[in-house]
Structure 1
Amino acid sequence: MKLRTIFYGLTSGLLLGLSSCSLNYEPLDTYSDVTEGVTSDGTKIVFKDKAAVESHLTTLYNQMRDRQEHWYVDLLLISDSHSDNAYAGTTGAEVVPFENNSIEGSNSVLERDWNRYLEDVARANKLICNIDLVTDNSLTTAERAQYKAEAKIFRAMVMFDMVRLWGDFPVITTVADDITSENIDEVYPQYFPKQNTELEAYQQIEKDLLDAVLYAPDNTPGNKTLFSKSVARTLLAKIYAEKPLRDYTKVIQYCDEVKADGFDLVDDFSDLFGMNAAGTDAKMRNTKESILEAQFTSGAGNWCTWMFGSDLVNWNNNFTWAKWVTPSRDLISAFKQEGDEVRFKESIVYYDCNWSNYYPSDNYPFMYKCRSANSSIIKYRYADVLLLKAEALIMQDTPDLEGAADIIDEVRDRAKLGALPTSVRSNKNVLLNALLKERRLELAFEGQRWFDLVRLDKVEEVMNAVYSKDSGRKAQIYTFDKNSYRLPIPQSVIDANDKIHQNPGY
């Protein structure tokens, strides 16, 4: 008979991440979160028809709009406050360690993120593993292929975040079976999966994306919320730039394919993050630069804005406590030294507030790229892809420094900055540092900086130096070293599964 309760001590995130189902089962003759009944021979029906499949696909897309805490808010804390771009912002014990480099496996932010990412994987797996079993003939072969491709892009995107954070983690691509008294020895291990290597994770991401790029929807200029072929190509360019799969020829190939899909830089940088003239809505959505974005309109607002600053469409909403990801003096100095007013004013804003954690309260800087409840969150945009191509041109076996410099100049031109001088264009190491600075200024507060430093082995050089030159930064607790390139796996995960091992240095 079915076991009614088992392993109650497991976290809900682990359960959903592994099985997308509850272990607290009655006989499967009614609807539940993972089944829509059973056939006469006892086979579970996960999706009874096309409408059920499409409803679940909508659920995947809703993760972008409704669950921003881990893939956006927390990722900015890691990418910017754990780099030289920002301070933690608050005095909370869960966020300060990202600024002073004292992160441990007990950190509640990382525990939340691990569990929620695995929940996302489980939702994708539910569709990928079951769509071909749907007997509704109105669900065509082409639709099955497309919906599965969209789910694979979502899964790849989630796993890409996970592998860059933790390195080795369980790469789960199946839905665990129900446990019964008859199969417990066989099924039990499915709920406690092994820890795959970083390379295995990247190989699965690559496989998902290569499958998906064949069948995903094309880029739709009027709807940049879709998991499209262009999103898959963007992710392929990104994974081939990472050390485990590094292939700069493929980086260039997929960057060029994204360009061929119709993407380009917008002429006005404020089109990406600005407000309309009336100050009531986002200035633009679905720009030619945006590859994937989450969109928010009146009545379905983006709550993230009050984590970072003030909501320009509701000024007093939650503007009474210190905000996360406060721009650092080092970043502000970098903008000023470059004379970069265009991107500075779209990235950082000064308000009068009620706290003075890092600056005087009457002139306090805030991250400005998520400035209202109607602001879109741009997950991927073409400037990132373009600068990634420049990186590949610099780092490939036969560098094309002039080609890379021309790309950097294209991005700088929009910011009304001059071309790179010959002394920079002709020296590989100097040009690489110029690229890193350009990415820093262009992509500040977009979840990039920490991962740029990791990808190019710059963590120790940059981060161990910033504490002495940034007077506002909290004192460094631990020195950055090679072990710092991965974050600690949550201790609660290790306690629940003896197949999971902590990353070195924690």
Structure 2
Amino acid sequence: MRYKIYWEVTALALMLAVSSCDGLLDKEPISEISEGMVGDNGNASDTIRFKTAAQAESFLGTCYNEFQTEYFQLDYYINSEMQSDNSYQGANGVELEQIENYQLSPTNKNITRDWGYLYRFIGNANVVIDNVLKTPDQTFPDARKRQIRAEALVMRAWCYFDLVRLYGGVPLVLKAIPSINSGNVENVYPLLYPDRATEDQVYAQIEKDLIESLPLVQEFPATKAVVSKALVNSLLAKFYATKQPADWAKVKQYAQNVVGDTRYELLPDYADLFKATAQTNSKESIFEVQYNLGSNEFWGYDMHMGTDWKKFNTPTNDLVKAFDNENDQIRKGVSIAFADVSGKWTDKNWAVTAYPFAGKYKSRGAKVMLVRLADIMLLLGEAENELGGTTAAQGWLNKVRKRVSLPETSAVTKEDLRLAFEKERRLELAFEGHRWFDLKRTNRVIPVMNGFKDSKGSNIFKGKIQPYMLLWPVPQSERDMNSKLTQNAGY
């Protein structure tokens, strides 16, 4: 998965692989897309331009389809849950064993493919960002052009947010890469093989893209599968809670923009969020991927549920204990499914007669929420606590707890509330791809994971997790292609 491969795919995407989000954007015949690629002088060139509004809309659909790739169907959950105290590896595989045990190799296939998926997404977003405003279609409103570009900016920012949290400073690729030829090789070559940016530079770009997009994206789209102001506000709240030192005043500002919008509400029944027939575009959803049986299916379901083979992200004894200690039977019952796997496989941590699965997603036709209101409510509560608003912080914590019939929190000090929010986010958002990133942004990975115990009460890591392990290595295949890519310390 190398830069050159992905940039060439991006440059050809308009001609060869344009598709749209199912039920969201109209498709256009491939032949028309090919004819629509014109340069500044009206001839085919490396300056990609959409000839019609339909072509721009269709390629935006190609970008949205990236939310249905292997990264968002599987690895998004492996990366955050399996590196935390929520999940054991489960299914066999050296790549997953390395992730679970903090023993990553630069040749690990998972870290290589995730780098590739995220940069391909960035490449497609850049095609839109660079070209949609130049579309010559006179029937294409300028406001919609700016809106489309803003949606692509949000997607690019999301990808860089994941990249910087996983790998640290990474190359900032901010332009669509043209096809290389003898006439432009000197200009294009540096774009194919860029230097690493610093973490601060990557965070600055994420902030710039999100701030620029906020006034331009749709306020409340007809479908939650489209970028909205609430999503951008949510990402900004997460951004300011993650970039160190956290800016809690801005976390509060942007989280309040979401929580204060009465069009978003917690669903009364927690189970309704994850039923096989879960409502599309529910009031709690801020951004979701809408899978459908028989077409664009959520095959990630089969990676976590079923007794045909040992699945990924097996819940830990520690997580089950955390649910039980809190008497949180509602969220436990939704989040974890138990089954008898006698005669199918054995496990060192669990009895085969009551083997647990990460069970939040019940069907290949799931509506998978990547961002939802409870997440942002708890983030707002964290901000209130850090800013000295103890009563307000308790209020947001209790609002989430009340839905699942738990008593109000007994935490009153800032430090106790920090731990209460940490625990609440763990139980509320288990298996949704948040745990490891939450521990990382609060500087809690090392103490939590070094104290993590197995089913027999033995310390799993025995203090072996070191600070350098909180970043993944840069994939070796990328370094083989690009000598400018330095390796992260420790690898």
Matched-pair contact (CA < 8 Å) for 1:459–1:481: no
Matched-pair contact (CA < 8 Å) for 1:194–1:500: yes
Of 373, 382, 386, which aligns to 2:377? 386
1:444 counterpart residue number: 430
1:409 aligns with 2:411: no
Matched-pair contact (CA < 8 Å) for 1:349–1:367: yes
1:371 aligns with 2:362: yes
1:493 aligns with 2:478: yes
Report how far residue 214 of structure 1 moved: 0.9
* Comparing 80-89 and 171-180, the one that deviates more: 171-180
1:77 aligns with 2:78: yes
Report how far residue 151 of structure 1 moved: 1.0
Report how far residue 471 of structure 1 moved: 3.2
AA in 1 matched with 2:220: N
2:101 counterpart residue number: 100
Describe the superposition over 1:57-108 as per-residue Cα deviations: whole angstroms up to 9, x where unpaired: 11112222x31x2134112112111100010111211111222221121111
Local SS of the residue matching 2:357: strand
CA distance in 2, matches of 1:18, 1:484: 33
Report how far residue 17 of structure 1 moved: 4.7
Compared CA separation, residues 334 and 151, structure 1 to 2 (3 A): same
1:346 aligns with 2:334: yes
* Comparing 378-387 and 172-181, the one that deviates more: 172-181
Compared CA separation, residues 452 and 17, structure 1 to 2 (3 A): farther
CA distance in 1, matches of 2:288, 2:10: 26
Report how far residue 386 of structure 1 moved: 0.6
1:255 counterpart residue number: 255
Local SS of the residue matching 1:94: helix
1:305 aligns with 2:305: no
1:314 counterpart residue number: none
1:288 aligns with 2:283: yes
Report how far residue 223 of structure 1 moved: 1.7
Matched-pair contact (CA < 8 Å) for 2:133–2:146: no
Report how far residue 209 of structure 1 moved: 1.0
1:246 aligns with 2:246: yes
- 1:170-189 alignment, distance < 5 Å: 170-189=171-190
* Comparing 428-437 and 356-365, the one that deviates more: 356-365
Report how far residue 164 of structure 1 moved: 1.1
CA distance in 1, matches of 2:304, 2:9: 34
2:116 counterpart residue number: 115
Compared CA separation, residues 405 and 118, structure 1 to 2 (3 A): same
CA distance in 2, matches of 1:130, 1:303: 33
Matched-pair contact (CA < 8 Å) for 1:199–1:244: no
Compared CA separation, residues 505 and 156, structure 1 to 2 (3 A): same
2:28 counterpart residue number: none
Compared CA separation, residues 368 and 485, structure 1 to 2 (3 A): same
Describe the superposition over 1:398-419 as per-residue Cα deviations: whole angstroms up to 9, x where unpaired: x212211121111111111101
CA distance in 1, matches of 2:487, 2:34: 32
Compared CA separation, residues 41 and 283, structure 1 to 2 (3 A): closer
Matched-pair contact (CA < 8 Å) for 2:2–2:481: no
CA distance in 2, matches of 1:91, 1:298: 28
2:389 counterpart residue number: 400
TM-score (norm 1): 0.87
* Comparing 297-306 and 40-49, the one that deviates more: 40-49
- 1:439-478 alignment, distance < 5 Å: 439-467=425-453, 469-471=454-456, 475-476=460-461
CA distance in 1, matches of 2:73, 2:420: 27
Report how far residue 470 of structure 1 moved: 4.1
Local SS of the residue matching 1:162: helix
Of 295, 308, 315, which aligns to 1:327? 315
Describe the superposition over 1:137-166 as per-residue Cα deviations: whole angstroms up to 9, x where unpaired: 111111101111111111111111111111
Describe the superposition over 1:405-454 as per-residue Cα deviations: whole angstroms up to 9, x where unpaired: 12111111111110112xx21x2111111110011000100101000110
CA distance in 2, matches of 1:218, 1:149: 12
1:356 counterpart residue number: 346
Report how far residue 387 of structure 1 moved: 0.6
Report how far residue 167 of structure 1 moved: 1.3
Matched-pair contact (CA < 8 Å) for 1:125–1:173: yes
CA distance in 2, matches of 1:230, 1:309: 31
CA distance in 2, matches of 1:18, 1:497: 16
AA in 2 matched with 1:290: S
Describe the superposition over 1:113-149 as per-residue Cα deviations: whole angstroms up to 9, x where unpaired: 0001000000000011011221111111111011111
Compared CA separation, residues 191 and 33, structure 1 to 2 (3 A): farther
CA distance in 2, matches of 1:333, 1:19: 47
Compared CA separation, residues 487 and 381, structure 1 to 2 (3 A): same
Structure 2 unaligned residues grouped into runs of 5+ = 16-30
CA distance in 1, matches of 2:356, 2:380: 32
Describe the superposition over 1:440-491 as per-residue Cα deviations: whole angstroms up to 9, x where unpaired: 0001001010001100001111000104x54389954982122122122211
Aligned-residue sequence identity (percent) comes to 34
2:19 counterpart residue number: none
Report how far residue 207 of structure 1 moved: 1.1
Local SS of the residue matching 1:325: strand
Structure 1 unaligned residues grouped into runs of 5+ = 1-10, 276-281, 311-318
Local SS of the residue matching 2:352: coil
Compared CA separation, residues 33 and 453, structure 1 to 2 (3 A): farther
1:420 counterpart residue number: 409
AA in 1 matched with 2:137: D
Matched-pair contact (CA < 8 Å) for 1:202–1:244: no
CA distance in 2, matches of 1:18, 1:241: 36
1:15 counterpart residue number: 5
1:278 counterpart residue number: none
TM-score (norm 2): 0.90
What value does the CA root-mean-square deviation take over the aligned residues?
2.4
Residue correspondences, number: 468
2:233 counterpart residue number: 233
Report how far residue 13 of structure 1 moved: 5.2
* Comparing 327-336 and 255-264, the one that deviates more: 255-264
Compared CA separation, residues 504 and 219, structure 1 to 2 (3 A): same
Matched-pair contact (CA < 8 Å) for 2:53–2:137: yes
Matched-pair contact (CA < 8 Å) for 1:384–1:443: yes
Describe the superposition over 1:223-248 as per-residue Cα deviations: whole angstroms up to 9, x where unpaired: 21111111111101110111346311
AA in 1 matched with 2:251: V
